[in-house]
Structure 1
Amino acid sequence: MRVLFVASECYPLIKTGGLADVAGALPLALANLDCDVRVLMPAYPGVVGHLQNVEEVAAYPDVFGGPGRLLAGETADGLKVLALDVGHLYDRPGNPYLGPDGNDWWDNTRRFAALSAIGAAVGRYGVGDWKPAIVHGHDWQAGLVAPYLLAGPAEGRPKTVFTIHNVAFQGICGRADFDTFGLPSSFYTPAGLEYYGYCSFLKGGLVFSDRLTTVSPTYARELRTPEFGFGMEGVLNERANVLSGIVNGIDTRAWDPATDPLITSNYSARKMAGKAICKTELQNRMGLRVDPDAPLMIVVSRLTGQKGLDMLLPNLEGILQRGGQLAILGAGEHGMERAFVDAAAANPGSVAVHIGYSEPLSHAMQAGADAILIPSRFEPCGLTQLYGLRYGTIPVVARTGGLADTVIDANDASVRAGTATGIQFAPVSAGGLGFAIERLFDLFHNKKVWRALQARAMAHPVGWEDSAPDYVTLYRDLTTEGV
């Protein structure tokens, strides 16, 4: 089956978050299930240079104010990519969404309307002799794919799937911008793209796509409530019959402590000595006190209120009083960055902060830490807890979204049964997180229980092997409807 992914980022070509990991790993897993997947994405600076066997497969004289072309190529691991090369829209330095001032590019909706429009064109006409049966859009940047397809004739129109990775990002613009997108005005209604006087790309994907998915069963239920729906719960309740939750997986080749080239010493659940070596290396690297008996907790996250990291600050004193250490990798809200930087300055050897993101450091932190803290107020799926499981770094997670679906709480019953893989906490509050951290200390100091917990975590399936078949079933059901 031929499937076109439309996504604004894709690892290893460019990454700002978990969407890139999914767009890069899921197509390879689907390829093992006889799906031929191409990923359409913008040709940001550096993208084409990391592709092999590049050729031009289409040229467009006018893509929202300038010429463009479509380049086909593949990554070193065989991921097939269609890179949309439109210089006036995508040839910009740094973050794909943010300008040098840290704010959204002024024309982001135009940039991703172009991505959606070309996604619809490739879906309808194909490239060369390749034409998809399914166009699968991801997040608001691909939200106009289905409207563009529906604006044309039914003949030749592929089926559409739209995945919500985070409903909080909705692609909002004004009516004047909508009028430049080339869509019929009939789409700008309360039953269509109009959203409280504005146009929402996300709503376009939700309303007009044939099937909707999100990245965990719990998040699929949460989305239909005012607490988590961010204003889209009404639409999602109306379309509940076509909405499903499929848990994300991770690329278990890139994230494997037994073979990971980015860590100091490889290890496995049976031979854990390398993890202790990685811990010492991480403590040295981050300027922490070298102490194998100090529980070392990490955060690898955007530093935002959504991620709940403001709840960590009042728990810092308790962590340090019990001899714990904290290492943080991330960037986000300036005030939160400042608070953690100040905490590191006040507690040298016990707290370390790296503002920004580094893939090699992320691997080193997962390998060297004892636990990873993920206190998100909402979390569609989350990937860092899956990396933690894979590396025997015990996840401490809020009981929400995909975190609740992927981590088995180490309560007395699950510890006795040998099924526990981490710690969940509720309510999602500073107090709830503090109690979870106390539980973590108690488990860590019971070495027999801790080693069993690590072994079970590392044995927990976190790859795409369980989830990719669910997408194939969805695609097949969609393409055989009415046949």
Structure 2
Amino acid sequence: MDNLKVLFASSEVEPFAKTGGLADVAGSLPKALKKLGADIRVVMPKYKGIPQKFVQQMEYIGYIYVDVGWRHQYCGLLKTEYDGVTVYFIDNEYYFYRDGLYGYHDEAEQFIFFSKALIEMLPRIDFKPDIIHCNDWQTGVVSLLLNAHYKRHDFYKDVKTVFTIHNLKYQGIFPKEVLTDLMGIGWEYFTPDGIEFYDHVNCLKAGLAYSDIINTVSKTYAEEIKYDFFGENLQGIIRKRSNDLYGIVNGIDVEVNNPATDKRLFVNYDVEHLEGKYENKRRLQESLGLPVRDDIPIIGIISRLVAQKGFDLIACVLDEILREDVQLVVLGTGEYQYENMFRCAAANYPTKVSANILYDGTLAQRIYAGSDMFLMPSLFEPCGLSQLFSLRYGTIPIVRETGGLNDTIQSYNEVTGEGNGFSFTNYNAHDMLYTIRRAIHFYYNKDVWSKLIKRGMRQNFSWDKSASEYIELYHKALDKMH
């Protein structure tokens, strides 16, 4: 394959900094693209929270100055190599030496600085990409900045942009003055077809309006977001750009997430030797103080505890779920009402519920490995990775048919024997409850259950196929005339 040059720009990258699925994608997709022959490099902010062992490996390669409004800001450039991929870090302590990644009062300025810096560093590091691949609102203005400021320079005139929406709900909406004061861009871009959004600027919308190609992280979600319910008030511009909109389902890093070698598990196992999975189940029950019982299903939930993830459905029927002979293991943090719901359930049903209101990567893997079922009744789900991790570890997903869940989980059909999980269509608590009961029913049919486990573990959710689709997308961007 020809040597495509790609700069992959993301506000978070696993293992350096992570709040969600974007970091997983930014950590594993570039590796897969590199295997296909692309010269791909990643760029992210140098946050205070990056583990020291990585900071010590960074090589300082110089600095530039970046103008943000009236500020003439220092921008240090560092790089390291991780899993064979070069990662650049944009260093400015004023913007990034803070606890946490997002949610500060000057978020617009932080990520406009990052977007400008990643464009302006390119001549300095002597890397001229064919494509800048931008992700979510934090890099949404890159294509607008290129169009407004940089395309007139020879170095930048042929650079194309691909913009990936990981979650349309988070858009980066700020007062309109940001356009002139921080980006230095004229009002001619402040239009309904451009960055204007209800008299504000919308960074994600800038990515939709000005990037050469747009994609999102599953085929179903790419269709859903054209309509009002999923469109988050951007369905108009999404429909307008629908000829340039594609859906490519996320993969997972199958080397890191491999039950046969994963050091975070109690014991390792593979599809031919499932006794290790049952040992993980026993040890999980033991470690969480639940009765150690082989004969009942554990339902796992690992999630941000927010409305998007379907917790209103669980709230409606939680007592009915817990009247079944099951154990429920929850891991995650989020909105108080949902945290509290699970804490109360654990207090009321101490032998049935383990509520772990925190984030713990090791415990997460142990829940994927030790559970029998994984519950994910999302209201909307651009792609979802948890259902893929579950299948990889032989845990059967129970999902609502939306977005990427619809693309990756096929409901078990007892007539044909096909399927890899259990699913329901309507956003309805009793439909969900019926589906959970259906899963429990088949759990006791050992032939069916063992077939489902093995089928899930044998599926290929690596990045290989999706990475090839991204290469095609890059070529589509390069073929576009401006």
TM-score > 0.5, shorter chain as reference: yes
Within-5 A mapping of 1:16-31: 16-31=19-34
Instruction: Note the C-alpha offset of 1:76.
Output: 4.2
Counterpart of 1:473, as a letter, is E
- Look up the match of 1:38: 41
- 8 A Cα contact 1:303 1:332, kept in partner: yes
- 2:145 equivalent to 1:148: yes
RMSD across aligned C-alpha pairs, in angstroms? 1.7
- Look up the match of 1:248: 250
| C-alpha distance in structure 2 between counterparts of 1:8 and 1:235, whole Å | 24
> Aligned to 2:464, what secondary structure does the other structure show?
coil
| C-alpha distance in structure 2 between counterparts of 1:90 and 1:404, whole Å | 37
1:177-213, Cα deviation, whole Å (9 max, x unpaired): 3332222222112221110111100100000000000
- Look up the match of 1:438: 437
Instruction: Specify which of 81, 85, 89 is matched with residue 83 of structure 1.
Output: 89
Within-5 A mapping of 1:446-461: 446-461=445-460
Counterpart of 1:272, as a letter, is L
Within-5 A mapping of 1:168-187: 168-181=169-182, 182-187=184-189
| C-alpha distance in structure 2 between counterparts of 1:319 and 1:46, whole Å | 39
| C-alpha distance in structure 2 between counterparts of 1:296 and 1:66, whole Å | 56
Instruction: Note the C-alpha offset of 1:272.
Output: 0.5
- Distance verdict in 2 for CA 1:273–1:66, change over 3 Å: farther
- Distance verdict in 2 for CA 1:53–1:85, change over 3 Å: closer
| C-alpha distance in structure 1 between counterparts of 2:389 and 2:249, whole Å | 14
- Distance verdict in 2 for CA 1:36–1:350, change over 3 Å: same
Counterpart of 1:22, as a letter, is V
Instruction: Note the C-alpha offset of 1:59.
Output: 2.4
Counterpart of 2:61, as a letter, is E
> Aligned to 1:386, what secondary structure does the other structure show?
helix
- Look up the match of 1:72: 78
Counterpart of 1:147, as a letter, is L
Counterpart of 1:113, as a letter, is I
- Look up the match of 1:108: 107
Instruction: Note the C-alpha offset of 1:321.
Output: 2.2
Within-5 A mapping of 1:154-169: 154=152, 155=154, 156-157=156-157, 158-169=159-170
Identity of counterpart residues, as a percentage? 39
Instruction: Note the C-alpha offset of 1:14.
Output: 0.9
- 8 A Cα contact 2:218 2:383, kept in partner: yes
1:1-46, Cα deviation, whole Å (9 max, x unpaired): 1111111100011111000000010000000001111111111014
Q: How many residues align?
A: 471
- Look up the match of 1:4: 7
Instruction: Note the C-alpha offset of 1:482.
Output: 5.7
- 2:269 equivalent to 1:259: no
> Aligned to 2:309, what secondary structure does the other structure show?
coil
Instruction: Note the C-alpha offset of 1:243.
Output: 0.2
| C-alpha distance in structure 2 between counterparts of 1:78 and 1:5, whole Å | 14
Instruction: Specify which of 321, 329, 334 is matched with residue 332 of structure 1.
Output: 334
Instruction: Note the C-alpha offset of 1:293.
Output: 1.1
- 2:127 equivalent to 1:130: yes
- Look up the match of 1:55: 60
Q: Which moved more, 1:422-431 or 1:176-185?
A: 176-185
- 8 A Cα contact 1:66 1:86, kept in partner: no
1:243-263, Cα deviation, whole Å (9 max, x unpaired): 000000001111100100100
- Look up the match of 1:101: none
> Aligned to 2:43, what secondary structure does the other structure show?
strand
Instruction: Note the C-alpha offset of 1:63.
Output: 5.1
TM-score (norm: length of structure 1): 0.94
Instruction: Note the C-alpha offset of 1:69.
Output: 2.5
| C-alpha distance in structure 2 between counterparts of 1:46 and 1:66, whole Å | 25
| C-alpha distance in structure 2 between counterparts of 1:306 and 1:369, whole Å | 23
Q: Which moved more, 1:160-169 or 1:286-295?
A: 286-295
Instruction: Specify which of 208, 211, 221 is matched with residue 213 of structure 2.
Output: 211
> Aligned to 1:160, what secondary structure does the other structure show?
strand
- 8 A Cα contact 2:66 2:117, kept in partner: no
- 8 A Cα contact 2:251 2:461, kept in partner: yes
- 2:415 equivalent to 1:401: no
- Look up the match of 2:228: 226
TM-score (norm: length of structure 2): 0.94
* Runs (5+) with no aligned partner, structure 2: none
> Aligned to 1:377, what secondary structure does the other structure show?
coil
* Runs (5+) with no aligned partner, structure 1: 98-103
- 8 A Cα contact 1:56 1:69, kept in partner: no
- Distance verdict in 2 for CA 1:53–1:115, change over 3 Å: closer
